[in-house]
Amino acid sequence: MKIGIIGLGDMGKMFAKRWSGSGFDVYGCDLPQNMVSIKSELAEINITYLDNAEDVSRLCDFILYAVEAENIDNVVKSAGHATKFGAIVTGQTSVKNPEIRAFEKYLPNDTQIVGSHALFGPNVNPVGQTMAVFNHRASKEAFDVAIEILAQIGSKIEILENADTHDKMMADIQVVTHVGFESIGTAFMHRKVYPWENTQKVNGIDNIKMLMTLRIYSYKAHVYAGLAFHNPFAKSDVRKYAEIENELFGLMISENRERFISKILRARDVVFKDHSSKLMLSDEIMDEYTLNPDDDHKPNSHLSLLAMVCTWANLKTNPYNNMVCQTPPFKLRVGLAEYLFLNEELLNETITTALKDKSILKDDLAFHTAVHEWTNILELGDMRAYEKHFEATKRFLKPRLEEGRSKSTELISRLNQS
């Protein structure tokens, strides 16, 4: 069984290392200008490099396309015709509808097509993480082989129905989650404030929110842009999040206590009505993972989390059902939401702060503005604007990006172990 990887970027290299370590014959290719650095980075593993994607397709029995969503059509077009008879083909784009369309258009009719998506980044240990898989056009035997090969990286395999099922989940799990954290970072960038430098500000929930914000901005803009622009279900879900955030912010500044509290408590009762297990995030963890060791506590409105839970309730989305295809940021966002909404004292403090504490309004106004900036960019379909906005925020947050990614990776690993 010869395994081919078309695209040896961060994810492609991760698969190459894992499969080579499992004893497979691994073949790979990438753009010529990238090969010197790739060969240097993968010098310790056993991989055979081929000149191009067409050569990989012609030779290999199992082929993984590990390229960006915006490039998948062109790459499959260039190499699909050469696919070995009866080969199993899969891809690692995070949005499946464009990938499947490309496979159907350019791959021979005898090709066995399997959808797959590793729901974690290349710097996360894949052992115990989730990989979503679905059978698009493969025999039972070929599908079983694909699952066996994909499982060799150590991930849990979660079988989904089809590409639409995957993309509907990912609109919530990835795109809306990312927009929420991206907006937090952009809000700080606009105000030119580093939250970890304010000893009266950051603790508890704020620590974890900031860690996840830094984690997202420590990666590449095109990854998140691809998820946002190519997922057919993303725009409507992000727009709903923006509408609900706007409604909540309006109720806050008008001090409409009755409607604000009613909306929050109704969302709590809808989303968490069946919650019976212990919380994902304990008080010990919340105190331990911090960018600011000070113990002082300043209440917060937690507008980003209030808006998320109200959006779930409005869309009739059960976040626990989506946990079968969880990503680390989504899992932590669900954990933060339940930590807030299932602690009556903390939730009451949050509501009172949102309605009465004028000192936090400048922060919430910056967040409110950022949410609608990101939403408008997505609705306009402006990929370049998305990447420029991302990079501007990333430059501002740069002093703590590596620390944020390191600490968040440690936290994710700890949660998986528990």
Per-residue model confidence (pLDDT) at position 292: 65
Angstrom CA distances, 381 to 201, 225, 376, 393, stand at 36, 10, 9, 19
- Are 46 and 68 part of one and the same domain? yes
- Are 172 and 26 part of one and the same domain? no
Per-residue model confidence (pLDDT) at position 207: 85
SS3 sequence of the chain: CEEEEECCCHHHHHHHHHHHHCCCEEEEECCHHHHHHHHHHCCCCCCEECCCHHHHHHHCCEEEECCCHHHHHHHHHHHHHHCCCCCEEEECCCCHHHHHHHHHHHCCCCCEEEEEEECCCCCCCCCCCEEEEEEEECCHHHHHHHHHHHHHHCCEEEECCCHHHHHHHHHHHHHHHHHHHHHHHHHHHHHCCCHHHCCCCCCCHHHHHHHHHHHHHCCCHHHHHHHHHHCCCHHHHHHHHHHHHHHHHHHHHCCCHHHHHHHHHHHHHHHCCCCCCCCCCCHHHHHHCCCCCCCCCCCCCCHHHHHHHHHHHHHCCCHHHHHHHCCHHHHHHHHHHHHHHCCHHHHHHHHHHHHHCHHHHHHHHHHHHHHHHHHHHHHHCCHHHHHHHHHHHHHHHHHHHHHHHHHHHHHHHHHHHC
Mean pLDDT by 10 residues, the chain (418 residues): 96 96 96 95 94 97 94 96 98 93 98 95 85 97 98 94 94 92 96 73 76 92 88 94 98 96 97 86 80 69 96 93 84 92 94 93 95 96 95 95 90 78
Give 4's strand partners: 27, 63
- Are 152 and 84 part of one and the same domain? yes
- Are 260 and 219 part of one and the same domain? yes
- Are 139 and 269 part of one and the same domain? no
- Are 136 and 187 part of one and the same domain? no
Look up the pTM and report it. 0.81
- Are 24 and 72 part of one and the same domain? yes
Domain termination site, one of 160, 186, 209: 160
Per-residue model confidence (pLDDT) at position 68: 87
- Are 108 and 212 part of one and the same domain? no
- Are 350 and 299 part of one and the same domain? yes
- Are 128 and 194 part of one and the same domain? no
CATH of the domain at 146: 3.40.50.720
In 3D space, the residue among 418, 407, 396, 409 whose CA is nearest the CA of residue 185 turns out to be 396
Q: What's the number of domains the chain is made of?
A: 2
Domain termination site, one of 131, 160, 189: 160
Beta strands 112-118 and 130-137: pairing type?
antiparallel
- Are 362 and 260 part of one and the same domain? yes
Domain range enclosing 185: 165-417
Per-residue model confidence (pLDDT) at position 393: 97
Angle, in degrees to the nearest 10, between helices 221-230 and 383-397: 140
Domain termination site, one of 99, 133, 160: 160
- Are 176 and 236 part of one and the same domain? yes
Per-residue model confidence (pLDDT) at position 293: 61
Per-residue model confidence (pLDDT) at position 417: 72
